[in-house]
Amino acid sequence: MESKPIKLRDTTEGKILFIGIILTILLIFIIVYHIILDPNKAKILTLVFVAHAFGGRAAGVGLCIVNNLHFFPTLIYNFFLEIQLLCVTYSIFVLSITNYIKIQWIVRIANQMRNNADKHRDKIKKYGWIGVFLFVLAPLPATQAAFANIPSLL
């Protein structure tokens, strides 16, 4: 008996991607709404999105602070951006390495990360999950993304 292929919408990552797409559409509506009412604020929100996407959370929050956005709107907007970006990037990354979608450079990066994790397998086993937790907790460049698949190696 041949098993049916699992549809994208039935996978966890497919559902997360759908949420990310909904949040992206909502983000576009928010920016368009502000283009109509307050073009300067729309420009700030767009720049904060770009800064958050390419420079990280601190860059996005910093731009909000520099542009005198209030505390709660800054917190809510950057939290929203974090969730939106995470949903989209995580799902595309996982769907790419599981061959639901084909993005070659993501597959190459994932394989490289897995090879690096395999090289350090003994260190990872020696310190266990607490060592990985502390390492990822440290604010070092790329530690969070580079070791996302460590639990599968343990």
What are the domain boundaries of the chain?
8-101, 103-154
Using one digit for the tens of pLDDT, what is the confidence trace for 73-102? 999 999 999 999 999 988 888 888 777 777
Distance CA 14, CA 18 (A): 6
Q: What is the pTM of this model?
A: 0.69
Spans of the chain below 70 pLDDT: 1-5, 136, 138-154
Average pLDDT, the chain: 82
Show Cβ contacts of residue 101 under 8 Å, excluding neighbours closer than 6 positions.
92, 95
Query: What pLDDT sits at residue 146?
Result: 44
Place of tokens 């395999």: 118
Using CA atoms, how far residue 126 sits from 40, 110, 139, 152, in Å, is 53, 23, 22, 15
At 118, which amino acid appears? D
d(CA 44, CA 23): 18
